[in-house]
């Protein structure tokens, strides 16, 4: 006689323990994400101050922040040229971005607070990388 695989269903205690473990991990992730926000909010303010100067770094930073805010493609390779503090601050913001306390509005507010909102929006007109991405899609590349 041919027998199929033995299926074992977990007990209620095992299900409850598994659920508790999942909830514990979710809480730890939420706490860690909130901790990232605590570090990122002052970092975002410092990055907004960088945008007030017109040199290479602010243009590259604007491109990356605009990409987070708008979804326009940007090259993370730009990070290589940043001063150490800008790198750390940008990484902190990227890590926390998406939390309900650091999302689109917070980027907009930070940029507006230093009077750079109009200049920030000019990044839309920088279409060089956008054209590269569109051409890749047309060719079927990812």
Q: Are 40 and 93 in contact (CB under 8 A)?
A: yes
- Pick the range with the lowest mean pLDDT from 2-6, 130-134, 135-139: 130-134
- Confidence grade of residue 139 (pLDDT, cut at 50, 70, 90): confident
Which single residue is written with the structure tokens 């993370």? Answer: 76
Task: For residue 8, give the 3-state DSSP assignment.
Answer: coil
pLDDT digits (tens, 9 = 90+) for 36-45: 999 999 999 9
pLDDT digits (tens, 9 = 90+) for 71-124: 888 989 999 999 999 999 999 999 999 999 999 999 999 999 999 999 999 998
pLDDT reported for residue 5:
87
Q: Are 114 and 52 in contact (CB under 8 A)?
A: yes
Instruction: Please give the mean pLDDT across all residues of the chain.
Output: 91
Q: Are 61 and 51 in contact (CB under 8 A)?
A: yes
Q: Are 61 and 87 in contact (CB under 8 A)?
A: no
CA-based nearest residue to 74, from 13, 133, 23, 31: 133
Query: What φ, ψ does residue 42 adopt, rounded to 5°?
Result: -65, -30
Task: For residue 84, give the 3-state DSSP assignment.
Answer: helix
Task: For residue 82, give the 3-state DSSP assignment.
Answer: coil
Which single residue is written with the structure tokens 């002052």? Answer: 42
pTM: 0.79
């Amino acid at each position: 006689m041919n027998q199929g695989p033995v299926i074992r269903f977990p007990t209620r205690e095992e299900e409850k323990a598994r659920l508790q473990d999942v909830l514990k991990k979710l809480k730890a992730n939420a706490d860690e994400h909130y901790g990232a926000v605590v570090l990122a909010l002052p970092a975002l303010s410092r990055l907004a101050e960088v945008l007030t100067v017109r040199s290479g770094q602010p243009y590259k930073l604007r491109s990356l922040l605009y990409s987070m805010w708008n979804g326009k493609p940007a090259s993370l390779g730009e990070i290589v040229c940043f001063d150490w503090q800008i790198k750390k601050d940008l990484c902190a913001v990227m890590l926390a971005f998406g939390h309900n306390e650091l999302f689109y509005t917070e980027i907009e507010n930070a940029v507006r607070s230093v009077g750079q909102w109009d200049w920030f929006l000019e990044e839309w007109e920088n279409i060089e990388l956008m054209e590269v991405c569109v051409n890749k899609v047309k060719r079927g590349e990812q």
